[in-house]
Amino acid sequence: MVEQFNFGGYAGGEVRNISIPYVVEKVNGSERTYDLASRMMQDRIIFLDTDFNDQMAHIIKQQLVWLDSQGDSPITFYISSPGGSVHAGLGIADVAKSCISPIRTVVMGYAASMGCYTQSVIGTKGFRLGGKRSYFMCHQVSSGTQGLITDQKISLKHSDALNTLLTKEIAEAVGVTHEQLLKDADRDLWLNAEEALEYGEHGFIDGIILGPRNEEGKYLVKRRGGVEEWV
């Protein structure tokens, strides 16, 4: 019997007891009240700032599908997460990869475990960004099982398949061999923003954010070699 498949040991849980802020805007002399997440959606912004679980994945998949149906301008996807359920994260990745709109991933804080997979794999090439103080952590899948020995063996086989799937996709995204990533991430692989930028041929990120967004909503970022560019 399968209990949970997690990227590295964090099981994830439901989002509970979170206060939802509201904002008030004046439009043509009238006031309109929005919950902040809905207001951010108008600017094509999504926040993933919790663990990976079925509840949050359900919401984020809906947000991605809706925004992609409204146009093909970039979707900005802020990430700060300890990781969590592998299957919840894979569902988000499948939806994101089906989007026509470019996806700009922005790590603020840290992207660990399934969070690291998400930002490195689903972000459009050139649009995977991190704050100067951001951290990244990659490691192996973990799982918990119970029940018959036969069922536990089946679960272990599935865990191994998930680990291979995730690490192969990360290795391709960052530009190292699968064998090299398995070696580096045999235990928790922690990288700061500079290290994440320089890792492998492509990096876990494509640029480090240097300051505030401009009027067009673009960030000034530092690329490899110190090249600065608005993204």
- In order of 26, 42, 120, 134, 224, the CA distances from 172 in angstroms are 47, 33, 10, 22, 18
The answer for residues whose C-beta is within 8 angstroms of residue 150's C-beta and 6 or more apart is none
- The residue among 73, 66, 11 whose CA lies nearest residue 37 is 66
* C-alpha pair distances (Å), 186 with each of 47, 73, 176: 29, 38, 15
Residue 139 annotated to the active site: yes
Q: Write the CA distances from 169 to 16, 37, 153, integer angstroms.
A: 31, 30, 25
Cα separation, 187 vs 207, whole angstroms: 25
Catalytic one of 120, 139, 155, 159: 139
Active site residue 38: no
The one catalytic residue among 80, 113, 143, 155: 113
Residues annotated as catalytic (active site), given as ranges: 113, 139
